């Protein structure tokens, strides 16, 4: 009888630990950029953007971010840097053209990941993760979208919120 109780307890414990197989992928566009020279393909963040990067850091504190990805541009790296420094993490440079989305999802299991990109790449990144064309490009003046893709026990959910 004791062996049966132990087996039942083990079954209940195994069902009570879904978070180990769960992941949250947070995806944002870079913060506000300098817009003086429209021909500059790699502008820096302006003062408002530097402030927003700090606000993103504060938003993600306590969310156990363990990986941070950024495209190789000043504005995306500088958006990611405050959180990376706070969490003692290296920013991983990625190219949206080189991502294998299924592999990215699998490698994210049990992790909370931040991805920083652009108005024309982040919605596409999310759409590829969820396997449907759900989100449109971000308006060029919108830097407050936060996309959250969660994978838990083989169930994929997604949502879009704004964080100012």
What is the C-alpha end-to-end distance of the chain, expressed in Å? 58
Report pTM. 0.87
Task: Report the mean per-residue pLDDT for the chain.
Answer: 90
Helix, strand, coil tally for the chain in percent (to 5): 35, 25, 40
Are the C-beta atoms of residues 22 and 152 closer than 8 Å to each other? yes
- Look at domain 20-162 and name its CATH class: alpha beta
pLDDT band, very low/low/confident/very high, at 18 (cuts 50, 70, 90): very low
pLDDT in tens, 47-85: 999 999 999 999 999 999 999 999 999 999 999 999 999
The per-residue pLDDT for 2 is 44
Q: Where are the domains of the chain?
A: 20-162
**Higher model confidence: residue 11 or residue 113?**
113
**10 has pLDDT over 60:** no
- What tokens were used for 81? 């840097």
- What tokens were used for 117? 């990109």
The per-residue pLDDT for 16 is 38
The per-residue pLDDT for 85 is 98
**9 has pLDDT over 60:** no
Query: Please, which residues bridge with residue 149 across strands?
Result: 25, 158
């Amino acid at each position: 009888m004791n062996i049966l109780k132990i087996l039942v307890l083990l079954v209940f414990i195994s069902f009570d630990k879904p978070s180990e197989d769960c992941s949250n992928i947070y995806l944002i566009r870079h913060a506000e950029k300098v817009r003086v020279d429209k021909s500059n393909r790699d502008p820096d963040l302006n003062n408002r953007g530097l402030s927003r990067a700090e606000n993103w850091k504060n938003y993600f504190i306590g969310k156990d971010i363990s990986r941070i990805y950024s495209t190789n541009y000043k504005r995306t790296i500088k958006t990611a840097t405050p959180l990376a420094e706070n969490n003692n993490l290296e920013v991983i440079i990625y190219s949206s053209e080189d991502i294998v989305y299924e592999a990215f999802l699998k490698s994210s299991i049990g992790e909370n990941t931040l991805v920083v990109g652009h108005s024309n790449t982040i919605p596409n990144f999310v759409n590829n993760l969820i396997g449907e064309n759900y989100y449109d490009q971000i308006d060029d003046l919108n830097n407050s979208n936060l996309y959250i893709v969660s994978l838990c026990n083989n169930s994929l959910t997604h949502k879009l919120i704004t964080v100012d």
